[in-house]
């Protein structure tokens, strides 16, 4: 997709959908996440997809939420894609529990500023 405001809005919508799915998958809390390989796989896949979409956002759009650690999101994506045998479930849960709510709020802020 060619870089543009419209493309950024598509990527943001996609990221928000991934976050929504992760939240639904994790409704049972950390213990359900840790007990189910199915939930772990679904969460990791959606985090990977979300992080990949974040790499496609234009720099001006990322600048609207300069408080978001965009490089860390990209780095996290590289870990879960390339080091899949060494994925740390503690780290994944930390992202789900602590980082996704902040990212969700930032994405809404970006989306709403562009509409």
> Would you call 24 a catalytic residue per the annotation?
no
Of 21, 82, 104, 111, catalytic: 82
Of 45, 71, 77, 109, catalytic: 77
pLDDT tens sequence across 57-115: 999 999 999 999 999 898 787 677 666 667 889 989 999 999 999 999 999 999 999 75
> Would you call 104 a catalytic residue per the annotation?
no
Residues 19/104, Cβ–Cβ less than 8 Å? yes
Domain edges within the chain = 5-114
Residues 74/55, Cβ–Cβ less than 8 Å? yes
pLDDT at 81: 67
Residues 21/71, Cβ–Cβ less than 8 Å? no
Is residue 26 very low, low, confident or very high in pLDDT (cuts 50, 70, 90)?
Answer: very high
pLDDT tens sequence across 28-60: 999 999 999 999 999 999 999 999 999 999 999
Residue 2 has pLDDT above 90, yes or no: no
Q: Please say whether the dihedral angle defined by the alpha carbons of residues 93, 98, 103 and 104, taken in this order, is positive or negative.
A: positive
Q: Which residues of 31-40 are buried (b: 16+ CB within 10 A; e: fewer)?
A: eebeeeeebb
pLDDT at 5: 83
């Amino acid at each position: 997709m060619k870089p543009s405001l419209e493309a950024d809005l598509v990527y943001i919508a996609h990221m928000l959908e991934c976050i929504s799915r992760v939240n639904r998958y994790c409704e049972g809390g950390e213990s359900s996440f840790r007990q189910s390989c199915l939930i772990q796989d679904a969460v990791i896949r959606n985090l990977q997809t979300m992080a990949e979409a974040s790499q496609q956002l234009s720099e001006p759009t990322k600048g609207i939420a300069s408080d978001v650690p965009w490089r860390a999101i990209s780095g996290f994506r590289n870990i879960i894609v390339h080091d899949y045998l060494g994925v740390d479930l503690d780290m994944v849960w930390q992202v789900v529990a602590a980082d996704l709510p902040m990212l969700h709020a930032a994405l809404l802020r970006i989306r709403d500023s562009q509409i």
